[in-house]
Amino acid sequence: MPKARGRPGRNKGSLRHKLLQLKMSAKVAHPEGGRNGAKGETQASDDDVSSEVLSHYSSTSETASVPEEAVNDAINEQMAQEEAEDKLKECIDNTMHKSAKTRQNALESLKLAFSSKILSEFLLDRRVTLTDCLERCLKKGKSEEQALAAVVAILLCIQLGSSKEAEDVFQALKSILINVLTDKSASLAARHNCATALGTCCYVAANEEEDLVSCLTCLESVFSASYIKGDGSVPSHNSQTQILHCNALQSWSLLVTICPPSKIQKFLEIHMPKLPDLLCSDNVSLRIAAGETIALLFELARRTDQDYFYEDTGQLCEKLKALATDGNKHRAKNDRRKQRSIFRDVLHFIEDEECPEETVKFGIECLYIDSWVRRRAYDVFKDVLGSGVRHHLQHNELLRDIFELGSPLVLDAAAIKANKMTRFEKHHYNSAVFKARTKARNKVRDKRADVL
């Protein structure tokens, strides 16, 4: 025994020592030489005692290991978060760097981080610094830097949500965005993003009617340049300018969705006679934006007045039918397919008041897009956030409030895992869908099918 104490495995030796003590005490209580079977009973009792001691020690070690693993996970998570925050701080500092390339790389990193994670708490204390950096990039930067700064400004407002801090950011950047948007000497790439930023930031953060009116007026002055002139001539613009007008029209239509009914009536009187002319544009994006805006205005008008009637509905429907069945070979195949799909939806809505429905799945939830108002809002956030839109729908309180999803759900890892399909289940599901689709198509393709 003395040698066992001096060896490195002392815990094991102490456990053995304790077992021997228990056995000795059991022998004293039941000495040998008793009745037949006494020795067997003593041996059994010794085994029971030793198993109890071993189970006690093993359970103690197991319970001790669980908190230890949880603590390690928490420490690793905290270290990863601190490392990510240090990188973000470095990126914010680099937006003031002398090198234009360094500033652009920093803005690109901020754009990626803001679109893929929820960083509202981190940004609250740094919003003033970051706003000053974006202001400097928009004022003194070149084409690509201005374009990136405009996108980061949108993402910053989305991160801060409908709060006083987001409103302060918008107020600081609004005049600069308007200046770049209306400056014909600025690059068109920067003006494209500034048009989107002005509309989206106003939609998210503006609380004053004056801000809404000024943004609507500015955007209106941009896209109305594509309207047919008073003498009946069609304005001629290059493709990049047409994309600018498209972005301005989409931002304008987004802001129209939060306008009071009195203003919507005014917009109907001014723009409904002119918007159908944009359906003849040679730019597919501008044509589609005009068609979606017409459907949006019809929807808002019918919400205000169920008996709303547009005088030139017949002529408008003729144009929409032509676009819904357009087969001109001089247009790209993908453009024709996209155009036909959207204008079929617009036509069905104007004629039958049937809005196309779409379901967006994220996590264990679903977002139902069943109106042109919702579609316009979702398309804006999807274009800005990219692949991160589902993460923001799941966790961003601003987006959940806009789409009426309620407070973010708090789910444990087991619940999330339970709602995920395994690879085997996905394979069988896809196989079943493929077989059903093949059968349905074969019925149509079969020459023996009845032809009406």
Structure tokens at 187: 């690059």
Phi–psi pair at 366, nearest 5 degrees? -140, 145
Q: Is residue 331 left, alpha or beta, with left meaning phi > 0 and alpha meaning psi from -120 to 50?
A: beta
What's the rounded mean pLDDT across residues 204-218? 94
In a domain, 196, yes or no: no
Would you say residue 157 lies in a domain?
A: no
Q: Is residue 168 part of a domain?
A: no
Q: Stretch 365-384: mean pLDDT, rounded?
A: 95
**Does 338 reside within a domain?**
no
**Better-predicted residue by pLDDT, 46 or 403:** 403
Mean pLDDT, residues 123-146: 94
- Residue 15, both tokens: 């456990």
- The whole domain housing 6 covers 2-77
Phi, psi of 7 (to 5 degrees): -80, 165
In a domain, 185, yes or no: no
Residue 433 included in any domain: no
* Count of helices and strands (H, E) across the chain: 20, 2
Domain assignment of residue 376, yes or no: no
**% of the chain exceeding 70 in pLDDT:** 77
d(CA 392, CA 125): 21
Of the ranges 3-12, 173-182, 406-415, which one carries the lowest mean pLDDT score? 3-12
The predicted pLDDT at position 430 comes to: 78
Average pLDDT over residues 192-212: 95
Kindly report the backbone phi and psi dihedral angles of residue 369, in degrees, each rounded to the nearest multiple of 5, phi listed first: -105, 105
Torsion angles phi and psi, residue 77, rounded to 5: -65, -40
User: Count of domains in the chain?
Assistant: 1
Q: CA 104 to CA 148: how far, in whole Å?
A: 7
Residue 160 belongs to a domain: no
Q: Of 15-29, 67-81, 244-258, 294-308, which gets the smallest average pLDDT?
A: 15-29
Confidence of residue 57 (pLDDT cuts 50, 70, 90): very low
- What global pTM score does this model have? 0.76
